[in-house]
Amino acid sequence: MIMCTELVPMSMAAMRMGALYDIRMLSPHPLLPLLERQARAFGGHLPGAIEGEVEPVHQCRVATRRLRELLPLCECELSAGIASRARRRLRRVGGAMGPVREVDVALELADELAQQQVVRDEAEERLRQHLQDEREERREQMLDRLRAINTLKLERDLADVARLLGMRQQTDLWAQALASRMESRAGTLLETVEAAGPLYIADRVHAVRIATKRLRYVLELAGDTGEARTKRAVRDARSVQETLGRLHDLDVLAALMQDLIAAAAGQPWREPLKAAHLHLERECRSLHGQYVSRQELVSELGHGAEKAGREIWIERGGEEQHAAPPKRVGRVLKMTLAEPRRELRPAAQEPPRNRAT
């Protein structure tokens, strides 16, 4: 379990030594290597993603998310609006690839079900074909959306941001923005946990997953830039995210499977698919039980990140009392409620099983 004191800013000693500005003049901007690494990852995986290859789609989406987390901090150091433009385009690219990635994960889970003989024979074949047809349809939609985005200009914008950042002497503004985002993300996580409660309302639990993921990204940035020690907090956030991520992935597969079951009236493979669907439901309840048992840890993670964000803000010259940016729990919930998947269900009564993730 993570304690608030374990998330501590690291720059105080340098500030006491009075050498901070000398260090800034001699050192490259701390955001620059992170930006360059993620820009290379994005550009390197983009061609394969456009071809529909599974791993490039995944890695390209990860790069878009990390770049979108970095660019608002870069924008604080630059006068031009290039960073904002690049971020908008990255959001569109990531949004285009998301539905394809969902089906890719569903296919991986279908393989897992087949290996466990939860689904087999004609039911397995029908399910796999249904998922492959769905993936091809979504890939065509992805390509249509990507054609409307000038990815060459996007890559050029990222290169320009890196070039301008390399010419700038760093200020406290980017670290203040990092601190505000950390505090805001932590507050959103705490609110989504409270809104989700102990009941299994899939969209609200999914909102907790999104909030945990977004907080993890900002914690990773704080650690990578040396603003705070976040290794343990990142590990805890990743663990919670993996549990909720698998729950969400199973929920997506269950919804796709339900579509196939509904269209299979009178078919001999319908009942085996219904049994497989019940298997998914049981695992979802078990995973939710694991999450409920760890809600206290998630809350401690949020409170610790809020405290660390406030300390970074003050150390970097912010006012001692400041208002964090508006929390976006409502936006997160609205996004996840756009396509409701499941009715209210109680948390699992059985003790949670340990899973290797």
Residue 347's identity, in one-letter code, is A
- Report pLDDT for 28: 84
Contacts of 111 (CB under 8 A, 6+ apart): none
Same domain as 241, residue 144: no
Pair of tokens at residue 348: 């699992």
Render 77-93 in DSSP notation, one character per residue. T-SSSHHHHHHHHHHHH
Tell me the two tokens of residue 108: 């991986």
pLDDT computed for residue 135 by the predictor: 97
Query: Using 50, 70 and 90 to split pLDDT, how confident is the model at 164?
Result: very high
Domain boundary among 169, 201, 218: 169
Last residue of a domain, one of 141, 169, 197: 169
* 3 state DSSP class of 228: strand
Q: Which residues contact 78 (CB under 8 A, 6 or more apart)?
A: 161, 164, 165, 168
CA pair distance 104, 49, nearest whole angstrom: 12
- Tokens 């309302």 belong to which residue? 201
State the pLDDT confidence band at 321, using cuts at 50, 70 and 90: low
Do residues 163 and 105 both lie within one domain? yes
Confidence of residue 9 (pLDDT cuts 50, 70, 90): low
The Cα diameter of the chain in Å comes to 78
Which residue is associated with the tokens 């049994």?
A: 275
- Are residue 228 and residue 117 in the same domain, yes or no? no
User: Containing domain of residue 330, as a range?
Assistant: 1-28+172-357
200 and 129 belong to one structural domain: no
Number of structural domains (the chain) is 2
Say yes or no: 16 and 64 in one domain: no
Higher pLDDT residue, 333 or 318? 318
> Which phi and psi (to 5°) does residue 181 adopt?
-70, -40
Number of helices and strands in the chain (H, E): 13, 0
- pLDDT at 338 > cutoff 90: no
| 163 and 267, same domain (yes or no) | no
Query: Where does the chain have alpha helices with state H?
Result: 12-17, 20-26, 32-50, 54-75, 82-115, 121-147, 151-166, 173-196, 202-224, 231-262, 270-293, 295-315, 329-336
Q: Based on the domain organization, do 52 and 129 belong to the same domain?
A: yes
pLDDT tens digits along 202-261: 999 999 999 999 999 999 999 999 999 999 999 999 999 999 999 999 999 999 999 999
Percent of the chain with pLDDT over 70: 82
Can you tell me the mean pLDDT for 276-292? 97
Residue 22 has pLDDT above 90, yes or no: no
Domain boundary among 140, 169, 198: 169
Tokens 């290169």 label which residue? Answer: 159
Q: How confident is the model at residue 27 (pLDDT cuts 50, 70, 90)?
A: confident
